[in-house]
Amino acid sequence: MEYESLDEFRERAGYLIDGVWYPRVTSIVSIKAKPALYRYYGGMRSFKAADDAKEASAREGTMVHEAVEAILNGTHEPVPATIEPSIDAFREFLRNNHVEPLLIEERVVSRNHRYAGTIDALARINGVVGVLDIKTSKSVYRDYGMQIAAYIAALTETPDIEQPITSWVLRLDQCRTCQLCGVSLRTKGGVFRVSAGGKGCLHQWGPMEGRFEFVEFGTHAHDLNAFLAAKTLWEWEHHDLLSQLS
């Protein structure tokens, strides 16, 4: 079982807002199969090793989110050394773009569709207002569109804010590059992963360096349709738990 008790389900899969329980966007999108995740599990020495690394990786992701939010809020908190290169990349992104945060780490609710989530930021970037989602993954996946479309739909129900007209994923990453062949080494979650190529090279790794990838997702009606379809499936999957909640 994914959830061991009704309390755990209530706590982890949703938010209680003004006395009403709403399922979380991130829980809903998790219903969709992710083939890349199966390949990741398959490539590890055991299920437990893969699970531990995934958890360590999630902790690093949380640290990056916290540091980014602190910077957007203008508070200067010390950045843990392990994620410093990723945060350097974020600072570089800020130097290269005009970023004005409007909302940071904000709970959003769709009462029409009955779900809630937390956006990383609503920001005006280079003059355009949009939802900004921070990722620390290996690449930018198309799946993110579902999550972001859900946030945008919830924001359209939110009064007194500047409405987003687009959305972006900012992927923050850090890796070491081989000085000889140019392949990269990621160590996220304590797992050492070398990118493809560089066969036969006795790699000489340079320093850990941050990098960012900024991708515009826009606002896509078919992403919201996919999210709402995922929600229907999620509700079907958790029917018994949901019926006990009400």
Contact residues for Zn ion, defined by CB under 5 A: 178, 180-181, 198, 201, 203
Nearest-approach distance from CB 178 to Zn ion, in angstroms: 3
Q: Which two tokens stand for residue 18?
A: 């003004």
The Cα–Cα gap between 178 and 232 comes to 47
Nearest-approach distance from CB 198 to Zn ion, in angstroms: 4
Instruction: Please say which residue, 80 or 197, places its beta carbon nearer to Zn ion.
Output: 197
Quick one: the chain helix, strand, coil %, rounded to 5?
40, 30, 30
Instruction: Please say which residue, 198 or 218, places its beta carbon nearer to Zn ion.
Output: 198
Nearest-approach distance from CB 179 to Zn ion, in angstroms: 8
Return the half-sphere exposure (C-beta side, CA atoms, 13 A cut-off) of residue 6.
9
Instruction: Please say which residue, 198 or 206, places its beta carbon nearer to Zn ion.
Output: 198
The Cα–Cα gap between 228 and 18 comes to 23
CA end-to-end span of the chain, whole Å? 21
Place of tokens 């916290």: 66
Instruction: Please say which residue, 196 or 221, places its beta carbon nearer to Zn ion.
Output: 196
Alpha helices (H) in 30-103, listed in sequence order: 35-42, 47-73, 84-96
One-letter amino acid of 164:
P
Nearest-approach distance from CB 196 to Zn ion, in angstroms: 12
Instruction: Please say which residue, 36 or 180, places its beta carbon nearer to Zn ion.
Output: 180
Nearest-approach distance from CB 209 to Zn ion, in angstroms: 15
Contact 151, 105 (CB under 8 A): no
